[in-house]
Structure formats: structure tokens, C-alpha cells
Amino acid sequence: MIGVVPAALPGPLPWLTTTFPDYLVWVVIAAFVATAALERYDRELARTVGAGAWVLFGVFWGVLFPRFAFEMRSFIEGTLSLVAVPLCVYAGYQLYSGRDSLFVLSRGVAAMGLIYVPFLTVEPLREWLVELVSVQTNAVIQLLGYDPAFTIAKENGYHSAFIFTDSTGHEYYTYLVLACTGIGSMSIFGGLIAAVRAPLRRKLRGFTLAIVIIWVLNVVRNVFIAVAFGNQWFQFFVGPVTTITGYTDPRMVSFFIADRVLSQLLAVVALVFILWLVVRDLPELLTVIEDVIYLVSGREYDLHRSIRADGGR
């Protein structure tokens, strides 16, 4: 996502939603990595450790909920993080009770963390990625005929800020953060693809397909949000939106609709579409999808059989 200066959360919440998750994520990843390692040698112990890892993962999403919902004012991410809490706990219960197919998803979460966390914690790596995506975003904005100031963001010191100025001299300031690089979505696909057991050639093909599409769509999303906010494209329902979100500046409505509503909704659709493309080449991922559907609905589906019945491979 593209960042704007957020309102401060009261009391201990800034520590709880920013510093604490940075520590907790290491514990969660270590627990999932331990689960994956133990699976080969002691499945019963791996099941117990894995159940604990899933419960910790639920706590992690619960801790992030206030940040998504109140600081970032993202109702979609806030809702998803809140829903993730009971789903993670339920996944832990199901794994502990003997649903061993969840070991695949557990390995996937471990691999996701190993891909994502270096970018989260290693400053030079994070700066390189954010600035690379920022340069590409700026290049596309320029190709479209817009010419905002492209400068260093005061919040992180990266060359990642875009400043549009209207006819009255008002500046519309946005900047890219790590979440704007698409690394989160890329780590999801990378982790899941790494977790399944399939020929390396097909795994590499599926990974390349997912990464290329995510990268391109992510740059398009960044361009859309920056330009839409800078040109105030979505100044609709200003009163209700400012009331719901708590924004004091009515000009933030365009940012909210472009980023928190349209971009995030379309991102969900895009991820589902990318998953469909990858599954066509890597049907082993259907096991993960079946488990997710079961956790959400409580119903069993044999997607492998459905695809075979439809003539798929």
C-alpha cells in the first residue's frame, strides 16, 4: 500500500501494534520452521509444535488488528486479520487432532516467513526493494503524462515519495513502504509453492508466473493510488467517509477510496486469479486450497477429483 502520515494510536497501542509484532513474528516463524523440521522425524511432536505455531499465528493477527482497523483505517485488512484469529486457532486444533494435510500449509507458512522476514528486518534489503519499486512507479507515472515531485520520504528516508501539487498550491503527499512492493503476496505464493511436493521444473514455472504478474500489477496499483489521490479522482460521499474513517482532511477521501477500498478489493480478486493460473500448472496446491475451504466452511471438497472430472490434469 502507499503510505500517508497516520494518526497516532493512544496509550500502549503503538508498541503493541508495531514493536511487539516484530518480535512475535520471529517466534511464529521459528515455530513453523520447527514443525516442518520435526515432521520428517517425529510426526506426533511436530503435530503438537505445529498446533502451538498456529495458535501463535492467531495471536499475531489479533495483535495487528488495531493497526489495520484504527491506524491504517483499512476495513478489509482489519476484517481479514480479525477473521484470521479463530481460523488459525481452528487450524491448530485440526492439526493436533490428526488432519495431517495441514502440514503442507504449515510448511508453506514457514517458507513464507523465511522469504518475507529478511525484507522486513534487514534495512539495506528493504531500502533496495522499496526504492526499486518506487523508481518503476515513478517511470510509469511519467509515461502517463504526470510530473509529481519524486523525492525522499521523511518517514523512512527512502527515495519513495510522490508529491502532486494542485492549482491552489496544496500538496498531495504519498510515499511507498514495504507493503507497496508486493513482497507479501510474492512470499505467499513462494511459500506455498515451496511447501508442496512437485517436480522442480513445474514449481519454478509456477513461481515465475506468479512473481511476474504480482510485480506488474503491484506497480500499476501504486501508480493508480498516487495519481488518484494527487488528482482527487474519488471525492465521493465525503461526509460519510470522513465520519466513518475519522479523517479530518476531506481530501483524504480520494486516498481512502483508491487504496483502502478499490485497490484492496481488486488485490483479492487478482490473487485468486493468479492462484487459478498457478494451480493449472501445479495442481498439488489444491491440497492447500481444500484445507482452507474446510477451515472456513467445515465442509470437505475433493478438488482434485473435480478437476479430473472436468478434463483437467
Which residue of the set 47, 67, 221, 260 is catalytic? 221
Residue 84 half-sphere exposure, CB side, CA atoms within 13 Å? 18
Q: How far apart are CA 20 and CA 91, in angstroms?
A: 23
224: left (phi over 0), alpha (psi -120 to 50) or beta: alpha
Note if 221 is an active site residue: yes
Which residue of the set 73, 126, 180, 260 is catalytic? 180
For the chain, helix (H) and strand (E) counts, in that order, are 13, 4
Q: How far apart are CA 73 and CA 247, in angstroms?
A: 9
CB atoms within 10 A of CB 307: 15
For residues 260 and 69, the answer to whether their CB atoms sit within 8 Å is no
Q: How far apart are CA 301 and CA 303, in angstroms?
A: 6
Note if 260 is an active site residue: no
- Residues serving a catalytic function are 180, 221
